[in-house]
Chains A and B, each alone.
Chain A
Amino acid sequence: MSRFTDPLTGADAVGDPTAPELGGGEFSGAGDSQANDSDTVNKTGTTTVGIATEDGVVVATDMRASLGGRFVSNKSVQKVEQVHPTGVLTLVGSVGGAQSFIRTLRSEVDLYEVRKGQPMSMHALATLAGNFARGGPFFAINPILGGVDEAGSHVYSIDPAGGVMQDDYTVTGSGMQLAHGAIEGVYDREMSLDDARDLAVRAVVAASERDTGSGNGVYVSTVTDEGVEIEGFDETDDAFA
């Protein structure tokens, strides 16, 4: 709380730098929803993979949603969404938390661009996302942010406590160890976007084979400085470049 108040409304004139400007709900530490019965909240289970190359970023996700880890509640979930003209975010963890998080980030990105007259950098977007994850009502999420800006291609993982870590490639979700194994030793920063796509799909397929929270196909997103493409495949074989 700053010492400056709005003379019209009496509200804090500086505002909480870690809170969303719009649609944050009651934004003061994790809400009661954190305590919701985990058996009745749709979870993505999930394997989501992000790979950065010189030419752009590939993000691949599986398509399964589950209830209580015992029932496949949806077999065609799109777990990667565009949040920025050249940036995507994956849904990992609570579906409600992740969807709300994505809606909020989209509006923040649009507001930033229209106010400042230039697109938000990936570093700024990752910082903002970390702030929201840390302080807000978007409970139990662990997404990947992938995107391209003037500085190049970037992949970040964002953890539920607001930790933001950049890497060349990253994996989040219940199948993360399996997917990591598929990528380790194969990744090369100079690999082509097509090779990166094949690698990301193979990693999701490997996790889908053995992780009960992941499966039912793959969504693939490619991000370049031109924009974002997202496509879903029920048959994973069709997803390769």
Chain B
Amino acid sequence: MQDQNQQAYDRGTNIFSPDGRLYQVEYAREAIKRGTASVGVRTADGTVLAADRQVHSSLVEEQSIEKLHRIDDHIAVASAGHVADARQLVDFAREQAQVNRLRYDEPIGVESLAKEVTDYIQRYTQSGGVRPFGVALAVGGVDPDGTPRLFETDPSGTPYEWKATAIGGERETLQGFLEDEYRTDLDLDGGVTLALETLARSNEDIDPEAVEVSVVDTESHSVRSLEGDEVAGHLAELEGSDE
């Protein structure tokens, strides 16, 4: 009887269980845990996003697995969870960034963008016949006034702001590592190293070719993807410090 009841409550996204839970939203969070991790780190000089691509076959073109996405000049997102769901949110975010430019002729703030996306996600927890987004995003960038910002979106549609965060599989472990290692005086290079070091906690055989890193710095206000050899350099630095 208990089981039957539970099944009824987890069928619709817009139905609360008697103890006030939305099971479909909680299941969406489980879907995110199945994905590989992405990490975001905010530093005084800019915001860093890093993601580990899991390549299942040597025949897959690595570049085709996209976990970091440029949204506008000054904002990028890292995703964890369902890639197809992430792509929908990424394009929604891109449109919202352009709407802000058309409407006000100014670049959108990172917080405004994150909230536009989470408000959109929220509607998929309150409508019939749809499922929530099975993806979390780390939204990183630099505000028009030069402040680095980092937000997380959750399947419930709640925005969180972080100094540093991990989304996806093994989140608790990586988050714990970031909590121990994060310092507010990190520079951008230090932020990249910390992000890679965090990713390496979930994957010991981290491969420079399989890691994506993007930074948005406060000088240029623009998204830059690190080249493979830059990533390799940072990883080598890590290995050096381990010994």
Contact = CB atoms under 8 A, between A and B. Distances in A.
Contact of A8 (B102, B103, B105, B123): B123
A53 interface: no
Contact of B105 (A6, A117, A124): A124
B123 A127 contact: no
Interface string B111-147: 1100100001001101101100000000000000000
Interface stretch (A9-17, A44-52, A55-63, A96-104): A9-17
Contacts of A4: 92, 95, 120
B129 to A, nearest CB: 8
A75 interface: no
A106 interface: no
Contacts, number: 51
Contacts of A7: 123-124, 127, 129-130
A124 B130 CA distance: 36
A116 interface: yes
Given A127-B104, A127-B105, A116 B112 contact: yes
A120 B106 CA distance: 10
B222 interface: no
A131 interface: yes
A15 B130 contact: no
Residue of A13, A120, A121 with highest tally of chain B CB at under 10 A: A13
Contacts of B123: 6-8, 13
Contacts of A6: 123
A121 B109 CA distance: 13
A17 B102 contact: yes
Contacts of B54: none
Interface string A2-31: 101011100001110110000000000000
A14 B105 contact: no
A115 B96 CA distance: 15
A128 interface: yes
Contacts of B111: 116-117
A14 B112 contact: no
Contact of A127 (B96, B103, B112): B103
A131 B112 contact: no
B109 A15 contact: no
B102 A121 contact: no
B106 A14 contact: no
B236 interface: no
B55 interface: no
Contacts of A131: 102-103
B106 A124 contact: yes
A120 B104 contact: yes
Nearest to A131: B103
A66 to B, nearest CB: 35
Contacts of B109: 116
Contacts of B112: 115-116
A127 B101 CA distance: 10
A126 to B, nearest CB: 8
B192 to A, nearest CB: 29
**8 A-B pairs with least C-beta separation:** A7-B127, A124-B104, A17-B102, A127-B105, A17-B99, A17-B103, A8-B127, A7-B130
Interface of A: 2, 4, 6-8, 13-15, 17-18, 112, 115-117, 120-121, 123-124, 127-128, 131
22 contacts: A2-B95, A4-B95, A7-B130, A8-B123, A8-B127, A13-B123, A14-B92, A14-B96, A17-B100, A17-B102, A17-B103, A18-B103, A115-B115, A116-B112, A117-B111, A121-B106, A123-B106, A124-B105, A124-B106, A127-B103, A128-B103, A128-B104
